[in-house]
Structure formats: structure tokens, C-alpha cells
Structure 1
């Protein structure tokens, strides 16, 4: 992160033109599963670790495909500007909420009001590509 903008690596799991999102304990807004890099981690290492921690499933890093990188400008997030780097990837195992994740949901484009600002940008992009109903 050469420009010092924090980065989240997120998983975009699509099924039947719906996408998986999660909601943390004590929150009302849903987010794409994933998280911030630990020092020295690559995108694939971050995604594998975060998804195992949040949903108890194993990401196959060899199947990761970059969906897009989405920027949050100043004033659109309580945490300030940041970017979210999104990937699709195959997985093996259950999708069982764990740790800070209270629930998971499958949402469509019409549900974009239920997600954070940056996540809504991803939903719009997926909808424009015909991947989300």
C-alpha cells in the first residue's frame, strides 16, 4: 500500500445471481467477507485466512479471479478513505459464521441499501455485468 490507503481483501461468492454477504455482531449493515492484510501478507494469503476465520471454509487460492478494486473517497466511510480489492474463488467446506460474524445472507441488487457504501459499489458493478439480479 504505497499510498497509505488501507486495503481490504474481499470475497465475492455468486450463486444464482445473488451474492454472499455477512453481518458482524452488533452491526446492522452487511459486508462482503474478508478483511485487512496482516504485515507481509499477499492478497491470496489474506483472503484464505480471513474466510477461514469468518466462515470456516477453505478458499482455493489457485482459483482466485480479480473482480475489481473499489475506492472509498473521503467522507463516505467512518474509517476514512480505503480500497477494497475483490476476488471470486472456489471454496471447500461449509459457510458457517464464526468469530465476529453473526449471520450470512444471499442478496441481490435490490438489497444494496443493506450494505456499506463500498459494498454497494461492488453490487452495482456486478449488476451492470449481468451477474447479479
Structure 2
């Protein structure tokens, strides 16, 4: 049985801060994005999820793969992992909470303890490369 959750995430940095989201009823922040649906490519998932969560349009031709990260899945049984394939991309519109998203926030590395385990790994990478302050 495959215990890996396949997710696609959008990395949107601005002045050393990263756009993060918090779903209703959750106490941690996640990078915007979500699970792939059957038959979807990475870009299909990215554009659909970001439109659903933030009501903005990703411009697929500008998408760049940043990295793929794996960690224990937050809120799941021990041994369940999440694989997060991350992209940067330009967008049209202004991000606003939509669907299950209750709040969006611009986080810095100081907020690392407030994000999911896989996002902590991504925060570490972005901080080490000077992109996240």
C-alpha cells in the first residue's frame, strides 16, 4: 500500500516572505496547493488548486519546478508521508482566501514552527538559499 500523499504546491515569495494558507479548523499553515486528481499533470493540479484556494490564475508557461520534498504527513498516522512538488509561477489577480482557506499570511523564517513538517523542510531550503528571511 502506498502511504504517500502526492501534492503540488505554489511557492510565491515577496521581499523575503512566503505566501502561506491556513484552512478552516487547522492550526498550521501550508503552502498553497493540494492533491493531484486522477489524470492531472503537475501544472493542471497547480492551476486548479491555486484558483480554488486563492481565486487567482497561475500562468502555466511561467511555472518553474523548484524542488520536490518529502516528510511525515501532518495530521496523519506515523509512516504516512507527503511528497510536495513545488513550483514558482507568475499569476493574474490578487490572492484572497477561498474555498476551505480561512486565512492567507505572509510568513518569514521566524514562522517556521507554525507550518507543516514538509513546509519546514522547504522553509529551511529557501532560508539557506537566501530567498526566505
Q: Could you tell me the TM-score, scaled by structure 2's length?
A: 0.93
Deviation of residue 6 (structure 1)? Answer: 2.2
Q: Which whole-Å CA distance do the structure 2 matches of 1:102 and 1:77 have between them?
A: 18
Runs of 5+ consecutive residues of structure 1 not aligned to the other structure: none
C-alpha separation in 1, matches of 2:44 and 2:81: 23
Equivalence for 1:21: 20
Instruction: For 2:118 and 2:3, locate their aligned partners in 1 and report how far apart those are by CA, in whole Å.
Output: 18
Aligned twin of 1:124: 124
> Per the alignment, in what secondary structure is the counterpart of residue 6 of structure 1?
strand
1:93 corresponds to 2:90: no
Q: What is the CA distance between 1:78 and its match in structure 2?
A: 3.2
- Residue of structure 1 in register with 2:62 after alignment: 63
| Structure 2 match to 1:45 | 44
Separation in 1 of the partners of 2:74 and 2:104? 22
Deviation at 1:20, TM superposition (A): 0.2
Residue correspondences, number? 129
Q: Which residue of 1 aligns with 2:6?
A: 7
Instruction: Tell me the residue number matched to 2:71.
Output: 72
Q: Which runs of 4+ in 1 moved over 4 A?
A: none
Contact 2:9 2:85 in 1 (8 A): yes
